[in-house]
């Protein structure tokens, strides 16, 4: 059976990773969460005091990039891979609101983007991959057979993220989460290098009023049609 490349892009907290994981599991494909890679670099910058609320030592971070090792290790219990930064398990640490508040500024740095894009292209060179992010269909895999662009209102997305954080025990307010979602949308869509835009050949899915099941069924059907037509 021939394999395809599936690119899933869109705004934060649109449920990209949930859909991508489900799809990869069903098709027996590799799933890659590229946001985790940007988050791991943001964590590294925090750990080394390269970033704070009002400063960013871009030069030191860029100089340190060759020493940053990012790896995904498959967790058989969960059914997907988890993020390791320089051999340390960081899956939990990269999901905090603090990392979320710094990561868009890290993702603006061209040197960071080119390092990660190269690694992502290497991971997908044999196809059979579902990758989610912001620039997968426009930069990383311009030739992906299937490109999905996911949207939903900022309030719906903030509510989802707020519930996720609360379930993990993080103390945050809904307003704080909404503000973070809106700030990230702004930075992600306005940065000079690889801004978040929908690829011309992407299919847009606004999931404000779709259940997870409906959304999964629709994208699975599209994927299977494409795979069967090869």
Give CA–CA dist 153/170, Å, rounded: 23
Collapsed DSSP state (helix, strand, coil) of residue 54: coil
Distance of closest approach, residue 196 Cβ to ligand DC, in angstroms: 7
Q: Of 39-58, which residues contact ligand DC (CB under 6 A)?
A: 39
Site string for ligand DC, 116-135 (x = CB under 6 A): -----------------xxx
Contact status: 14 vs ligand DC (CB under 6 A): no
Among 33-41, 45-53, 81-89, 213-221, which window interacts with ligand DC (CB under 6 A)?
Answer: 33-41
Give CA–CA dist 161/167, Å, rounded: 10
Q: In degrees rounded to 5, what are phi and psi of residue 204?
A: -90, 135
Helices 174-190 & 154-167 angle (0-180, nearest 10): 120
User: DSSP state, 201?
Assistant: T
Which residue's structure tokens are 């959304």?
A: 215
Q: Which of 29, 31, 38, 162 binds ligand DC (CB under 6 A)?
A: 38
Distance of closest approach, residue 120 Cβ to ligand DC, in angstroms: 8
Site string for ligand DC, 90-109 (x = CB under 6 A): -------------xx--x--
- Tell me whether residue 34 or residue 223 sits nearer to ligand DC (CB atom): 34
- Tell me whether residue 154 or residue 227 sits nearer to ligand DC (CB atom): 154
Distance of closest approach, residue 94 Cβ to ligand DC, in angstroms: 8
Give CA–CA dist 105/11, Å, rounded: 16
Contact status: 12 vs ligand DC (CB under 6 A): yes
Whether 24 and 136 have beta carbons less than 8 Å apart is answered as no
Non-local CB neighbours of 104 within 8 Å, separated by 6+ positions? 183, 184, 187, 188, 191
Whether 151 and 14 have beta carbons less than 8 Å apart is answered as yes
- Tell me whether residue 104 or residue 223 sits nearer to ligand DC (CB atom): 104
H or E element in which residue 107 lies: helix 97-107
Distance of closest approach, residue 26 Cβ to ligand DC, in angstroms: 21
Q: Of 151-190, which residues contact ligand DC (CB under 6 A)?
A: 184, 188
- Tell me whether residue 5 or residue 12 sits nearer to ligand DC (CB atom): 12
- Tell me whether residue 12 or residue 223 sits nearer to ligand DC (CB atom): 12
Pairing of strands 70-75, 129-133: unpaired
Binding site for ligand DC (CB under 6 A): 12, 34-35, 38-39, 103-104, 107, 133-135, 184, 188
């Amino acid at each position: 059976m021939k394999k395809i490349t599936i690119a899933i892009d869109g705004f934060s907290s649109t449920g990209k990773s949930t859909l991508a994981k489900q799809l990869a599991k069903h098709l027996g494909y590799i799933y890659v969460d590229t946001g985790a890679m940007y988050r791991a670099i943001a964590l590294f910058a925090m750990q080394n005091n390269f970033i704070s609320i009002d400063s960013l030592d871009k030069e030191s971070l860029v100089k340190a990039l060759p020493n940053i090792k990012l790896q995904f290790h498959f967790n058989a219990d969960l059914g997907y891979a988890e993020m390791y930064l320089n051999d340390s398990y960081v899956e939990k640490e990269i999901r905090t609101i603090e990392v979320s508040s710094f990561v868009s500024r890290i993702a603006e740095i061209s040197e960071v983007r080119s390092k990660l894009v190269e690694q992502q292209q290497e991971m997908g060179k044999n196809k059979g991959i579902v990758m989610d992010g912001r620039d997968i269909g426009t930069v990383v895999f311009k030739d992906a057979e299937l490109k999905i662009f996911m949207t939903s209102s900022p309030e719906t997305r903030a509510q989802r993220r707020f519930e996720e954080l609360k379930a993990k025990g993080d103390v945050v307010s809904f307003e704080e989460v909404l503000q973070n979602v809106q700030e990230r949308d702004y930075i992600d869509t306005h940065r000079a290098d690889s801004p978040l835009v929908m690829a011309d050949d992407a299919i847009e899915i606004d999931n404000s009023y779709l259940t997870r099941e409906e959304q999964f069924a629709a994208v699975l059907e599209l994927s299977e049609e494409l795979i069967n037509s090869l």
